[in-house]
């Protein structure tokens, strides 16, 4: 939970910071949210994809021995980590979509219509 929350919170902080910076430059809330999504799509997706791909050996219960050049499936050491890595990868996949869709939407909804800064 803590590992998953750390990545998700970091992605949301980056999105909110970019949104606030664009709003300070005078863009409307809607335009700032759209530009935030476009500018931060790649970093958010790459963070999630690299984490998911890094956890795939654990999800698939693989033990990779680089010294002996051997890959073992279902070794006793993997049974403890399979559930944890599956939860993190699944949660991260869902949280990435939520981060890129729900966060900008809520940022736009949180802006008061009468309190526009240049837009």
In a domain? residue 69: yes
Overall size of the chain counted in residues: 119
Report how many domains make up the chain: 1
Beta strands 70-73; 62-65: pairing state: antiparallel
In a domain? residue 115: no
Range of 15's domain?
Answer: 2-109
The tens digit of pLDDT for each residue in 62-74 reads 888 889 998 888 8
In a domain? residue 28: yes
Beta strands in 1-119 (DSSP E): 62-65, 70-73
**Quick one: pLDDT at residue 119?**
46
In a domain? residue 114: no
Q: If pLDDT is split at 50, 70 and 90, which confidence band does 114 have?
A: low
Q: Domain with 102 in it: what CATH number?
A: 1.20.1640.10
In a domain? residue 116: no
């Amino acid at each position: 939970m803590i590992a998953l929350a750390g990545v998700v919170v970091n992605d949301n902080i980056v999105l909110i910071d970019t949104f606030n910076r664009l709003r300070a430059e005078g863009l409307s809330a809607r335009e700032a949210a759209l530009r935030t999504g476009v500018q931060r799509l790649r970093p958010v997706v790459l963070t999630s994809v690299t984490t998911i791909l890094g956890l795939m050996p654990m999800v698939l219960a693989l033990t990779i021995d680089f010294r002996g050049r051997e890959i073992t499936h279902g070794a006793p050491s993997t049974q403890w980590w399979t559930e944890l890595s599956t939860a993190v990868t699944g949660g991260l996949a869902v949280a990435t979509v939520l981060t890129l869709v729900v966060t900008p939407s809520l940022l736009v909804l949180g802006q008061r219509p009468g309190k526009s800064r240049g837009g």
